[in-house]
Amino acid sequence: MSKEWEPRIVAFFCNWCTYTAADLAGVSRLKYAPNVRVIRLMCSGRVDPQFILDALARGADGVLIGGCHPGDCHYVEGNYKALRRFRMLQRMLDQMGIERERVRLEWISAAEGEKVQRVINEMTEQVRALGPLNLPGKFEEWDKEMEALAARIAKEEAKRSEAEPAAEKKEA
């Protein structure tokens, strides 16, 4: 029997707040869905939109970014930068036909273990409802489509070059 699909979520958490809160949730035995792979960064402002696109391209179904509350960033404005990038990324996702709900940004302080639990559980259910993103599979399909297109063009080109020398002879 094939294993039932489970959402895979990559979480980029700021070391000073959300990562600590995730630790606190663990210590406090606040269980959250095991679907999240946490990656720690020193600040949410370090989350390059390319990291998010890479995570999705490599098979993640959703990405969660966790940073310090506005005014609490240890690098002063890193979380505002994260917010600007997040908004820009949402527009990119629209253009790529990827649901915005697959990427979420949350401010979670070190003391908010319960919020980490709630956000992870909510996001897991939201992504579950959206279903698999499967970008790697889509890339494979796209590769096959492009191969078929290239083969069709090569065939047409071959036909054309069969016809063209005759036309050239006529002109000569």
**Among residues 10, 14, 24, 55, the one that binds ligand FES under rule CB under 6 A:** 14
Min dist. Cβ of residue 108 to ligand FES (A): 10
Q: Check the CA dihedral 140-145-146-152 and report its sign.
A: positive
Q: What's 22's DSSP letter? A: H
**Among residues 7, 21, 45, 124, the one that binds ligand FES under rule CB under 6 A:** 45
Cβ–Cβ under 8 Å, residues 66 and 103: no
Counting Cβ atoms within 10 Å, is residue 137 exposed (0-12), middle (13-18) or buried (19+)? exposed
Min dist. Cβ of residue 114 to ligand FES (A): 19
Cβ–Cβ under 8 Å, residues 63 and 9: yes
Q: Is residue 51 at the binding interface for ligand FES, with CB under 6 A as the rule?
A: no
Q: Check the CA dihedral 18-23-26-28 and report its sign.
A: negative
**Among residues 56, 68, 89, 127, the one that binds ligand FES under rule CB under 6 A:** 68
Is the CB of 98 or the CB of 103 nearer to ligand FES?
A: 103
The residue ranges of DSSP E strands in 79-160, in sequence order, are 103-107
**Among residues 73, 93, 116, 123, the one that binds ligand FES under rule CB under 6 A:** 73
**Among residues 44, 109, 117, 124, the one that binds ligand FES under rule CB under 6 A:** 44
Q: Is residue 35 at the binding interface for ligand FES, with CB under 6 A as the rule?
A: no
**Chain contacts with ligand FES (rule: CB under 6 A):** 14, 16-17, 43-45, 67-68, 73-75, 78-79
